């Protein structure tokens, strides 16, 4: 029985791994590393402001790839399967999480030490950005019938990421510079955003209530 259960779990893991949009995730990872590695390519040494800006830009680009994580062209076929949606979505996240951790380690290492911002704080920002992108994808999956909402989620997320520094009031500012008196307070807000995004994403992985789903116009 245990061997049978192990085989079933392995088959499920392999099936989910095949549905992960690795090309989109990989594209975000590659472009993000190119952004962070640009000063090295130009033989330049970034200061703390530039290093932070490059890492934030890389985190945003990688998150755009993660916006495609829950895309499933066969969603209408997989909806009635016995495996719960939260299991399938959780496996996708679990498969990508180690890749994201390795990618972020490489991105931080590409920033020369003199221009490297506090690693813990900027890692919190990157984690919140990534989780928020996945949560946005989960919301789209939960409340629409679109099997591949990734492009629209990514477009909306990019717009939000570019406009947020301009639209957020000063007391809610997230994008502060290293050494700013509000640095610690801003990262408390990042921590709250990370927790809220994780809870939202988890809540949206439950099976849909058909009455609340939005159908695309025909």
Q: Smallest Cα–Cα separation from 104: which of 114, 116, 92? A: 116
Report d(CA 200, CA 135) in Å as an integer: 6
Where along the chain do its domains lie? Answer: 2-208
Are 91 and 118 in contact, with CB atoms under 8 Å apart? Answer: no
Beta-carbon contacts of 55 under 8 Å, excluding residues fewer than 6 positions away, are: 36, 107, 108, 111, 117, 122, 126
Per-residue pLDDT in tens (0 to 9) along the chain, 218 residues: 445 455 556 667 777 788 899 999 999 999 999 999 988 877 777 888 999 999 999 999 999 999 999 998 766 554 445 557 778 888 899 999 999 999 999 999 999 888 899 999 999 999 999 999 999 999 999 998 888 999 999 999 999 999 988 888 888 899 999 999 999 999 999 999 999 999 999 999 876 555 444 454 44
Which residues is 214 bridged to in the sheet? 144
Q: Which tokens go with 56?
A: 């934030």
State how far the alpha carbon of 200 is from the alpha carbons of 46, 148, 159, in Å. Answer: 36, 19, 20
């Amino acid at each position: 029985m245990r061997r049978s259960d192990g085989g079933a779990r392995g088959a499920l893991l392999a099936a989910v791994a095949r549905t992960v949009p690795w090309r989109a995730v990989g594209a975000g990872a590659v472009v993000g590393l190119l952004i962070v590695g640009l000063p090295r390519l130009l033989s330049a040494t970034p200061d703390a402001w530039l290093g932070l800006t490059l890492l934030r830009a890389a985190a945003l680009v990688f998150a755009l790839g993660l916006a495609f994580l829950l895309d499933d062209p066969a969603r209408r076929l997989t909806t009635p399967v016995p495996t719960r949606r939260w299991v399938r979505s959780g496996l996708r996240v679990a498969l990508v999480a180690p890749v994201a951790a390795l990618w972020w380690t490489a991105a931080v290492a590409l920033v020369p030490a003199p221009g490297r911002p506090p690693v813990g704080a900027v890692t919190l920002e990157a984690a919140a950005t990534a989780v928020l992108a996945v949560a946005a994808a989960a919301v789209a999956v939960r409340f629409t019938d679109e099997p591949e909402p990734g492009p629209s989620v990514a477009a909306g997320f990019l717009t939000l990421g570019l406009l947020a520094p301009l639209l957020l009031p000063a007391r809610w500012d997230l994008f502060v510079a290293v050494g700013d008196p509000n640095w610690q307070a801003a990262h408390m807000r990042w921590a709250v955003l990370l927790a809220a995004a994780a809870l939202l994403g988890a809540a949206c992985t439950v099976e849909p209530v058909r009455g609340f789903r939005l159908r695309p116009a025909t």
